[in-house]
């Protein structure tokens, strides 16, 4: 099951990411559920193909709002925007649950998503690990992907100061985090089929 988001993702990736291993990475990605999976269990893009929709959205937001041709690399923006959530491939499982129809009073089976993490390695850390199996990341890219969750990251919530050092030293990390926030909470509002069922 393809989507226009998958086509756009592949077009951007092939045209912007040229480093060694990029073709092998894209081939591996196509063998996962990355292009059909949701981006969350019930929040933004909790729908079929939501993960690739979110990834393209973050890339677009980064390019529109934060790209500086004097200092930024189009390849780095493509890698960070498109691949920051690759950790969510093979991460969600679809199930059903009974939901009461408010109009009829009848119980109906509705799909929902649950987490089934077969490789519990963290969030940003896992994305970096998976990407690095195929292509070498620049330090700024690895830092940006590692810390893209900002204050929602488990290490940050646990009191780690590494995130503020990362944001202080690597503007790319700040730009990815801000683009991810804007995409998730503003641009992708209303994209959850699970929330629409309530």
Contact 188, 85 (CB under 8 A): no
Angle 171-182/50-66 helices, nearest 10 degrees? 120
Joined together, the tokens standing for residue 61 give 């937001």
Cα–Cα distance between 146 and 148 in angstroms, integer? 6
Task: Pick the more confident residue, 43 or 70.
Answer: 70
Is 156 strand, coil or helix? helix
Asked whether the CA dihedral 74, 177, 52, 22 is positive or negative, the reply is positive
Task: State the pLDDT at residue 139.
Answer: 98
What single-letter DSSP state applies at residue 29?
H
Which are the contacts of 49, defined by CB distance < 8 A and separation ≥ 6?
A: 1, 3, 5, 6, 35, 36, 37
Contact 94, 47 (CB under 8 A): no
Residue-wise pLDDT for 84-117, tens only, equals 999 998 877 777 778 888 888 899 887 777 778 8
Residue 197: pLDDT band by 50, 70, 90 thresholds? very low
Task: Pick the more confident residue, 161 or 11.
Answer: 11
Residue 1: pLDDT band by 50, 70, 90 thresholds? very low
Dihedral over alpha carbons 26, 129, 80, 194 (to 10 degrees):
80
Nearest of 121, 94, 89 to residue 109 by alpha carbon: 94
Which are the contacts of 93, defined by CB distance < 8 A and separation ≥ 6?
A: 113, 114, 115, 116
Q: Which of 96-105, 117-126, 186-195 has the highest mean pLDDT?
A: 117-126
Does 44 have pLDDT greater than 60? yes
């Amino acid at each position: 099951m393809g989507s226009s988001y998958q086509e756009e993702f592949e077009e951007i990736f092939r045209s912007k990411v040229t480093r060694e291993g990029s073709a092998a990475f894209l081939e591996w990605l196509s063998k996962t559920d990355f292009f059909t999976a949701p981006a969350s269990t019930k929040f933004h893009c909790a729908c079929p193909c939501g993960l690739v929709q979110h990834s393209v959205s973050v890339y677009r937001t980064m390019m529109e709002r934060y790209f500086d041709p004097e200092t930024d690399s189009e390849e780095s923006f493509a890698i960070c925007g498109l691949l920051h959530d690759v950790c969510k491939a093979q991460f969600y499982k679809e199930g059903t649950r009974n939901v009461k129809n408010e109009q009829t009073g009848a119980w109906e089976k509705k799909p929902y998503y649950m987490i089934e993490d077969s490789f519990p390695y963290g969030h940003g850390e896992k994305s970096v690990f998976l990407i690095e199996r195929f292509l070498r990341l620049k330090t700024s890219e690895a830092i940006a992907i590692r810390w893209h969750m900002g204050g929602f990251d488990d290490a940050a919530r646990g009191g780690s100061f590494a995130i503020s050092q990362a944001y202080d030293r690597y503007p790319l990390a700040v730009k990815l985090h801000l683009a991810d926030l804007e995409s998730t909470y503003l641009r992708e509002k209303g994209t959850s089929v699970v929330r629409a069922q309530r």
